Amino acid sequence: MERAATRRHYLMVRPTYFDVVYSINPWMNPEKPTFTGLAVAQWEGLRDLFTGLGHRVDLLDPRPGLPDMVFAANGATVVDGRVLVARFRDSQRTAEAEAYLEWFPAHGYTDVRQARWTNEGEGDYLVAGSRILAGTGFRTTLRAHRESQEYFGVPVVGLTLVDPRFYHLDTALTVLAEDTVMYYPKAFSAESRELLEELYPDAVHATAADAAEFGLNAVSDGRHVVLPQAATGLIGRLREHGFEPIGVDMSELLKAGGSVKCCTLELHGTGLAGRSH
């Protein structure tokens, strides 16, 4: 099957102040040294890859004292040009939301508001065709799911995460195309697994090893799938399914529990994912 790419619009934040000084997920160990220069180099490689694939990348300025700000996916959810800015669970990240509340109105977005309930943006909300898949269990709450469904006017399908290593939906599931996903079944509750089976009988299942390499923290444009290069099993499976996997090294950012998708906020324009704009 021939897969078609569509041009995407992303928002990213340079990891100028990247560090691991607190721990809010099992990957973060403040005692382990970090190398900000390396994080910047890996991030620049990702940004250049996206622009090389023909996508538009806008930048939001990083702010000192917010070491996790590189993870732009968590800042907001943008669907049909409407923006719902995050409300972070942890106090260490709360102030990041202000940057998004300022950036969007300054860049022509008129429908912008902050979520009322704990909501970590596209870390937990993934646009999949005409629905939004939404994670809960660790960060974004069920109340937030209802709020998002009302705000966007799009069905929000809740999925419960159960493994603390996969604390955001985008660490356990990737939307590959409007009607296809890949995911790690064991990251989900039995009920959510059943629901995923029903919705996506042809989904690619990740092994425990690929999930542990953060292989599901990937970004797809419908054809090219950018993912951590260590997820070799998934790279093979994606090829079998007609996708073009592109492995990248994001090892430095993984020290904070993030990778490709965490660094990438997709600004879904008019029409939902997969439609060109």
Q: Residue 33 has which token pair?
A: 């040294």
263 labelled catalytic: no
The full DSSP string for 170-219 is: GGTEEEEETTEEEE-GGGB-HHHHHHHHHH-TTPEEPPHHHHHTTTTS-E
CA-wise closest residue to 163 among 211, 116, 221? 211
Residues 7, 225, 36, 68, CA torsion sign: positive
Site residues for ligand ARG per CB under 6 A: 24-25, 28, 68, 71, 73-74, 93, 123, 168, 170-171, 256-258, 262
C-beta separation of 173 from 192 below 8 A: no
- Active-site residue identified among 55, 224, 241, 262: 262
Q: Nearest approach, Cβ of 72 to ligand ARG (angstroms)?
A: 8
In the bound state with ligand ARG, the residue whose beta carbon lies nearer, of 28 and 154, is 28
Could you give the CA distance from residue 275 to residue 5 in angstroms, rounded to a whole number?
10
Tokens in use for 29?
């160990």
C-beta neighbour count of 78 within 10 angstroms? 27
Least distance in angstroms from the C-beta of 93 to ligand ARG? 6
Q: Which of 145, 168, 241, 268 is catalytic?
A: 168
Whichever of 3 and 267 has its CB closer to ligand ARG, that residue is: 267
Helix/strand/coil for 113: strand
Judge whether 88 and 118 are in contact, CB under 8 Å.
yes
Q: Is 262 considered catalytic here?
A: yes
Nearer to ligand ARG, 25 or 192 (CB): 25
In whole angstroms, the minimum distance from the beta carbon of 250 to ligand ARG comes to 11
Nearer to ligand ARG among residue 164 and residue 242 (C-beta): 164
Q: How far is the CB of 259 from ligand ARG (least distance, A)?
A: 8
- As annotated, the active-site residues are 168, 262
